[in-house]
Structure 1
Amino acid sequence: MIQAKVAIVEDDANIQNIVQAYLQKDGYETVVMDNAEDAWDYWNSGKSADMWILDIMLPGMDGYELCKKIRDTSDVPIIIISAKDEEIDKILGLELGGDDYLTKPFSPRELVARVKRLFKRVTVQREPQVEKEELQIGELIVKLDDRRIVWAGAEVEVTAKEFDMLSIFVRNQNRAFSREELLKKVWGEDYFGSDRAVDDLIKRLRKKLDGLPIETVWGYGYRMRSASEDES
């Protein structure tokens, strides 16, 4: 039975064929592209994929840029595969929005296992909310029932992870969270990327919500000031 569609963006035909064969054997539908421009056209055409597997070293637009473009508008799961195995490359891929990073050469079975695990985590995160309430701190309103954010009287579009992060802070005003805590709460216990992903998400929130009272706790993590603290 077809479980989901996975888009594979990889210019090496051998890797394309192997990854596609293993995913199809496990029941996934696949679509394959060998460059980022075609992948971006596919994305903009409105055709859907439930997960993207992106190579970094592509002709023309590279996988980093494609990852950023997709992540700017969607929380669709992204796994990056690359021959680049330096820590800085992995950090960059995760900061640009990748959910996982796998270094070549890799076991196709390991890739399939990571695809399964990422789908499982995303399914849990997207389960319908049963709470019927709003949380507010200052000009920020978090509407839990329909997962909307209002800032300074205007609705602001945020991604699922951005919403989850804001919910954590509004529920726990003035509490400092370490980067590791936030990583587990927002990305899941089995996420094994860099905690720099937390910094990147906070940076995006501060850009979207100018004046957001999330402050850095140096050497540790972040906290959100309460409205009463701001007034005092």
Structure 2
Amino acid sequence: MTSTLSLDSASSLDAATVARYIDHTLLKPEATDADVAALIAEAAELGTYSICVSPSMLPLRIPAGADVKVAVVCGFPSGKHHSVIKAAEAALAIEQGADEVDMVIDIGAAKAGRFDDVQADIAAVRAAIPAPLVLKVIIESAALTDAEIVGVCQASVAAGADFVKTSTGFHPAGGATVHAVRLMKQTVGDRAEVKASGGVRSFDDALAMIEAGATRLGVSGSAALLSGATPADAAGSY
């Protein structure tokens, strides 16, 4: 696992290095097969770690020689799916070629302090896609208090998650913050990694999240971010 970088170290990262932190993401409901094909081509060109898509877009054709992993969301975006359904969705995604699954917790359970239920939900998906397959747990950090973030992160680690992840990018409460990423990393320590997603739109945003402890970034406007620009249309971005 990648350790937290100092601010000076993070600031020294170049675009090619930051690209390897990125899950290049397309989760808009209107996305087409052609859009996903373009996403894959752009990911290969930019050198991002992976692409992240909706499960209905599988299976995909990754060009020979392209070093691009496939991540798929599960229980997205509300998290209000039965654990059995989440587990089945995750298992099908892996069967259809996904390397990683990003699942959404039951946020209401977290708000009610039912962390045992959160852990059981995550554990059901973990059982369906055992290690070394990668499981990321989307906690929707902007909708949680600090205490709830800590409780959910502890539940995620106990259930065997590989990552805790800030946001879907679709919740009205907002997306990733440096504070949330830092708190999540402090909670999980070396037992899991942290993915920042939702509103990571500029190169400076990316560096700040990495400095806070993120080892993966969910980004929809990857080309603009890596060029140092801000996407012109960030509405509904992941």
TM-score in terms of structure 1 length: 0.32
Relative contact order (alpha carbons < 8 A, sep ≥ 6): 1 or 2 greater? 2
Q: Which has the larger radius of gyration?
A: 1
* TM-score with structure 2 setting the length: 0.31
Tell me which protein shows more strand as a share of its residues: 1
